[in-house]
Amino acid sequence: MRPSRLALPLLALVAAPTLLRAQATIAGDVTFASQYIARGITTTNRGVFQPSARVIVPAGRTTLTVNAWANYDGMRYDDPTRHISENGGAGTELAELDVNVEAARTVGRATLTVGALTYRFPNDHGTTSASNTTELYARVALDVPLAPSVQVWQDVRTVRGAYAEVAFARSVGPIAISATTGLNLGQSYGDGGASGYYARHGVTHVDLALAATRQIGGLTVTPSLHLVRGFDATTQVSAPGQARGLKLWIGTVVGWSRVAAFAGRPRVVAQAEPADDTAR
């Protein structure tokens, strides 16, 4: 809206150095889950806890995020007849550390995201450092009914194949409902990399989830329930020597976030000062 000449005094613009300030969001959470299922594959079939921390910085129309995430087994899972353990039954030691950097920009109703993700497995048994790898990824999410999104990860180090997920979500009252379908686009055994994750190409699994978020003091608490329908043979494994078409797991995420302001570099910006009344 153009200002009224009667409401405002005459102003003259002068240049002056001003210290700009920017804001970053610092956030963290811990997930407590009944088991660790990654992209449909049972990685640990007993309780785990998974802390993460991230810094989110706006940069013009782009948002930059740096995130670190870790997985720990809840206790020692070392019975070879019953347990699947990411760290080979080593107990509550660090089993996995993932670090990613991404940039996101909203264009109309679409949010476009690109990033890089590294995986580290500091284990002597179970999933070892031989599986360390890096992925590049891209995601498109639409702000329309059912919130459709598509994300593709390309492994550039160990498996050298692609994996994708197509997801839909909507809220019904306080409950968020989502459905995610995994697609193996080249991460089968013998696809050209040193290893693989799936037995065949195509649909790997479908994850149906219900979640509800509640604010408790300065924390957000989000319990969730997941029903995973496996289609690939590897996504049906639930325990040593056991396979199930349906797998159920529950989890709760406890999170927090803070906004931190920091000073930027000096920059010349326009400031207003009253005009000289004699210059009429």
Please tell me the total number of residues recorded for the chain in this structure.
280
Q: What pLDDT sits at residue 263?
A: 60
CB 135 within 8 A of CB 116: yes
Q: What pLDDT sits at residue 85?
A: 98
Q: What pLDDT sits at residue 262?
A: 67
Give the Cα separation of 24 and 62 in Å (integer).
13
Structure tokens at 194: 């040193």
Per-residue pLDDT of 54-74, as tens digits, reads: 999 999 899 999 999 999 999
What backbone phi and psi angles, to 5 degrees, belong to 201? -80, 165
Per-residue pLDDT of 116-127, as tens digits, reads: 999 999 999 999
Give the Cα separation of 29 and 25 in Å (integer).
13
Buried residues in 72-88 as b, exposed as e (16+ CB within 10 A): bbbeebeeeeebbbbbb
Please name each of the domains of the chain with its CATH number.
11-274 (2.40.160.40)
Q: Which residues pair with 72 in a beta bridge?
A: 49, 94
Buried residues in 2-20 as b, exposed as e (16+ CB within 10 A): eeeeeeeeeeeeeeeeeee
Q: What pLDDT sits at residue 188?
A: 81
The series of mean pLDDT values per 10 residues for the chain, 280 residues long, is 38 38 90 98 98 96 98 96 97 97 98 99 96 98 98 94 97 96 87 72 97 97 99 97 98 97 54 41
Q: What pLDDT sits at residue 270?
A: 43
Q: Which residues pair with 113 in a beta bridge?
A: 104, 139
Q: What pLDDT sits at residue 9?
A: 35
